[in-house]
Amino acid sequence: MEERLISKKDLLIKEGISYGTLYRWKRQGLIPESWFIHKATEIGQATFFPEDKITARISRIKGLKNELSVDQMQELFSANVESFKIPMQDFKGLEIVGRMSITAFTSVFPMKDLLDFNDVFAMYVVDHLMKLSGIYLEDAKQVLRLLCKYLSAEASKEYQLILLRKMGVPMTVLVRGEDEILLEDNAEIIACANLGEFEEALKDQLIA
């Protein structure tokens, strides 16, 4: 399916921004050079943009400009979001995860104020597990401990995270790929997450 384009003139009117603002964001690296598409028209050359991408990005910039510095937004919108750093207070303002996920994280890591991508990723996974699987706060803390320990030493996220419970006692394990899991009696899977899929979903949300 061909990507829908919007002209520069129509974009400026639609988003209520000036020519100078648009090109300042380009110079600052907040809008990719590749999104500026030059095409011949009946009246000469004109600039177009992939409409869905550019409108989503402008909306994101507008929403973040009072929360983050230009440098932080440059990190956020870069392809290498693993280098992203953000103070906890600023991260709370992004509302990417819920209050309980942040509470769980600060309970486990009370002295950590500057977050990296893996910290954000761990909270993002836990937030979805709490919402979708109804795991408890103590379960969330256990998942955070394992994820942060694992992610600090391992770059790959090609794992399944599985939260088990046996006779009321939770246990979190990481399994590579789609390997079959055989459980002993009285053990049950209460939550699982494909870390690779969660990583891509978080990156999409961060740089949308």
State pLDDT tens for residues 158-192: 788 888 878 777 778 888 766 666 777 777 887 78
Task: Summarize pLDDT for 101-114 with one digit per residue, the tens.
Answer: 999 999 999 999 99
Task: Summarize pLDDT for 112-138 with one digit per residue, the tens.
Answer: 999 988 899 999 999 998 888 878 888
pLDDT at 177: 61
Q: Is the pLDDT of residue 49 over 80?
A: yes
CA 54, 60, 64, 68 torsion-angle sign: negative
Least confident of 79-83, 85-89, 112-116: 79-83
